[in-house]
Amino acid sequence: MRVLQIVLCIIGLIILSTQTFRHVYVKWVQSYDSVLDSYDDKVIKEIKESDNLEELLSQYDVAYKKVKEYENDPINPEIKWRERDDKEPYKSEIKLKKAIERWEYHEKQIQKLRFYWLCGLLSVCTGFIVYMKVDQWLGMIGLITGFSEMTFWTFPVVFGYFGSKYEFHNLLNNKIFFSVLTWILLLIVWFLLYKVQGKQRKQ
């Protein structure tokens, strides 16, 4: 049991440490500027500087209406689907739509992170109580399940930066906070178990 706990604790700390380092790098070290930024069109610049979803929605509403006006005018030539990414009015509408979808995706990721992290915390607390009061092996199942859940949902952001800086960094802030919190909680639980086993040996 003792060897298993040491091995699992080391693995958990390594994973959480590397994940946290990755988050910190992406948040504060990695550069999002490019020499090509000056060539960005107005829509891309507005997307990057958007502070809330309402701003993006208002911009999308304008772009969407322009698309409908274009399509309702029989004089305008039809633009094929494969060409719409590069031609107005579809070009702006598509970019804004993708930015909104990415914003919503990040919001859902934050929601999942918080929910499953709390589920993991509940599992850890339950596992610790079972470990102390009922059976150590059953308790370990709860502890392993809980920390696995908490560690998994603090994994680094997979998709590259695109869209608003605000919502992207909001997701990163949540990842960093819960990664560090999980790291600290793992150490606390490990030391508590160490003391419990020390007392049991003396008895």
Query: What whole-number distance in Å separates Cα of residue 163 and Cα of residue 45?
Result: 9
Q: Highest mean pLDDT: which of 26-30, 85-89, 178-182, 197-201?
A: 178-182
**Cis amide leading into 77 (omega within 30):** no
Q: What is the pLDDT of residue 28?
A: 84
188 is in which domain, residue-wise?
2-202
Q: Helices in the chain by DSSP H: which ranges?
A: 2-24, 42-49, 53-72, 90-133, 136-152, 165-202
Upper half-sphere CA count for residue 104 (Cβ side, 13 Å): 9
Instruction: Give the CA distances from residue 148 to residues 110, 152, 154, 167, 193, in Å, rounded to whole numbers and listed in that order.
Output: 18, 6, 10, 26, 18
Q: What is the pLDDT of residue 179?
A: 95
Instruction: Please tell me the total count of domains within the chain.
Output: 1
pTM for the model: 0.83
Task: Spell out the SS3 assignment of 115-171.
Answer: HHHHHHHHHHHHHHHHHHHCCHHHHHHHHHHHHHHHHHCCCCCCCCCCCCHHHHHHH
pLDDT band at 85 (very low <50, low <70, confident <90, very high): confident
Q: Tell me: the pLDDT tens digits for 148-197?
A: 999 999 988 765 555 567 778 888 899 999 999 999 999 999 988 888 77
Q: Tell me: the pLDDT tens digits for 29-80?
A: 876 666 555 656 677 777 877 878 888 899 999 999 999 999 998 888 888 8
Element (H, E) at 51: none
